[in-house]
Amino acid sequence: MNFLDYSEDNSSCLRNLQVLRSELSFQRSRLSFFLELAQKLNSEFLESDDVVEILRAVLVGVTAGEGLGFNRAFWFEFDSGKRALRGALALGPSDAEEAAAIWESMRREPITLFEMLEKVAHHFENSHHPLNRLVRSIEVSMDEREHFLVTSLLERLPFVVDYVPQGVFWPLGEAPLAVAPVATGPHSYGVIVCDNHILRRPIEPNDLEILVLFTTIASMAITKARMCTLLKGKICELETLTRELNDSKNKLVQAEKTAEMGRIADRILHEIKNPLSAVGGLARVLAKRSEDEALRYIAQKIVEGTEKIEGTLNGLFRFDQGPKLDFEKVRVKPLLETIFRVIAVDLEHRGIDGHFTMNIPDDYHVNLDVPHFQQAFYHIVHNALNSMKNGGILIVIARILDGDLEIEVADTGQKISTTDLPINEAHSEPKSLRGLGVGLSLSKQIVELHGGDFKISSNNIGGKTIRIVFSNTK
């Protein structure tokens, strides 16, 4: 080899090195730009809980000249109910004429990627745009495993489709296509497809790698957005449950107050009526047996006075006049579940073992006045709890019997004596309330105003059982 040949070879190597250096510099700058762009998009995504907004940003990012520069981009959403991928979003020109107009406009007034996102927002909503109509006509079942959309999502695989196989439905033009799944762990969200349908520019390996970067960021953002939506829903449910529990707790406290007032009233009535009855009885004897007319007159007045006082007392402690009820059609199951949760807290505090059984369909409804129904139920339960001072067992069974709602509350407290049983009879006298409390009389009254049935009896576990029935035809 002479010196001239060596010189030419050296010059050729230098030129190749310069080309490689330029290419490396370009790729480094390009990668740096995409990393910066990905960081910006990631920041935007983290601030958004709107999945559609996130996907729109991704499509803008992969089609903008500032981004990957694809001519068109499509989003196919996974429908878990239908187990299918359906076209949802599209961005890009429908033909070369539209593309030329868009690019000329951008040449005259250059805009950033995020300015473009605001500017093209209306494009996604335009159902009359040819590209939107086409993409929304596509729906691919997940059973069509030969379809590249299904393959990409099932196998979590990004790839370039060089040609669309015969028999595969794809009305959006010829390949090549860049296909990348949007998924994280077990969650499948959909597939993004990009192409250069207008310029016919080939899809380079680097383009697919950057597209995967975009879809990875989008996957994490969608997961975060859906988690935020889920958490917001759970928070709303917890707030609703807390309000219901507080409301039920207040009703339970009120039931305790009413029961205590009933016990006090019962004692007062007892203390007043006993001596009053004795006075009245003696006065009746005097009025009948005394020979002194003046004394008989006085005795008769005493009898009339004691009878008047007894009548007043009986009127004070009778419950013939019930509350006015406001009926509404209510789903029984969630109502009872809330009541049971409140009762369970009180049982734990008292050291009582509770057993709740509910065999009621989710869609079963009964016409109830909810506040008074809750009041009646809490009075019944509170009476059972008060009969078990040293612990015991409370059994509540709710079921449907011949279409009607039946609830049984059984305890291991005190059995019912024969003197207490008249509470099952209409218009029971105050003396029948002793040992049972005013709360049960109110409960009985409320149940009957609902057109229901109230029965109380001793059970075989050492206490009493209260059975109430509400008709679903009331």
Residues 224 and 80 in one domain: yes
Co-location of 220 and 256 in the same domain? no
pLDDT for position 433: 40
Which residue, 171, 205, 232, sits at the end of a domain? 232
Confirm if 373 and 325 have CB atoms less than 8 A apart.
no
Q: Tell me, yes or no, whether 96 lies in a domain.
A: yes
What confidence score (pLDDT) does residue 421 get? 45
Query: Does residue 7 belong to any structural domain of this protein?
Result: no
Residues 94 and 218 in one domain: yes
User: Which sign does the torsion angle of CA 206, 212, 215, 220 carry?
Assistant: negative
Q: Is residue 11 part of a domain?
A: no
Mode of pairing for the β-strands spanning 352-359 and 392-401: parallel
pLDDT the model gives residue 117: 58
Q: What is the pLDDT of residue 431?
A: 38
- How far apart CA 69 and CA 30 sit, in angstroms, is 12
State whether residue 117 is helix, strand or coil. helix
Is residue 3 domain-resident? no
Q: Which residues of the chain have pLDDT under 70?
A: 1-12, 14-16, 19, 22-49, 65-67, 99-123, 125, 248, 251-252, 254-256, 258-263, 265-266, 270, 314-323, 415-438, 473-474
Query: What is the residue range of 54's domain?
Result: 21-232
* pLDDT, position 41: 63
Does residue 214 sit in the same domain as residue 255? Answer: no
On whether the CB atoms of residues 330 and 365 are closer than 8 A, the answer is: yes
Q: Are residues 261 and 310 in the same domain?
A: yes
Does 445 map to a domain? Answer: yes
* pLDDT of 438: 64
Total residues belonging to the chain:
474
Angstrom distance (rounded) from CA 116 to CA 138: 27
Domain finish residue from 207, 232, 257: 232
Q: Is the omega angle on the peptide bond into residue 334 within 30 degrees of 0, that is, cis?
A: no
Nearest to 251, CA basis, from 367, 382, 351, 354: 382
Tens of pLDDT along 367-402?
Answer: 999 888 988 898 898 888 888 888 899 999 999 998
Task: Tell me, yes or no, whether 186 and 293 share the same domain.
Answer: no
Are 147 and 256 contained in the same domain? no
CATH number at residue 70: 3.30.450.40
Residue 265 burial by CB count (10 A; 0-12/13-18/19+): exposed, middle or buried?
A: middle
Task: Give the C-alpha separation, 66 to 111, whole Å.
Answer: 9
Angle at which helices 3-46 and 205-289 cross, to 10°: 10
Is 269 a member of any domain? yes
User: What is the pTM assigned to this prediction?
Assistant: 0.52
The answer to whether residue 9 sits within a structural domain is no
Contact predicate 211/158, CB 8 Å: yes
Half-sphere exposure of 113 (CA within 13 A, CB side): 22
Whether residue 156 sits in one domain with residue 64: yes
Domain finish residue from 318, 348, 372: 318
Calpha distance 75→90 (Å, rounded): 6
Residue 463 placed within a domain: yes
Number of domains in the chain: 3
For position 106, what pLDDT does the model report?
56
Token digits for 392? 């015991």
Helix (H) or strand (E) holding 193: strand 187-195
Query: What pLDDT is stored for residue 241 in this prediction?
Result: 76
Q: Quick one: 308 and 282 in the same domain? A: yes
My answer on whether 208 and 290 are in the same domain is no
- Asked if 86 and 139 touch (Cβ cutoff 8 Å), the reply is yes
Residue 463's CATH number: 3.30.565.10
Are 274 and 366 in the same domain?
no
Please tell me what DSSP assigns to residue 169. Answer: -
**Domain co-membership, 81 together with 210:** yes
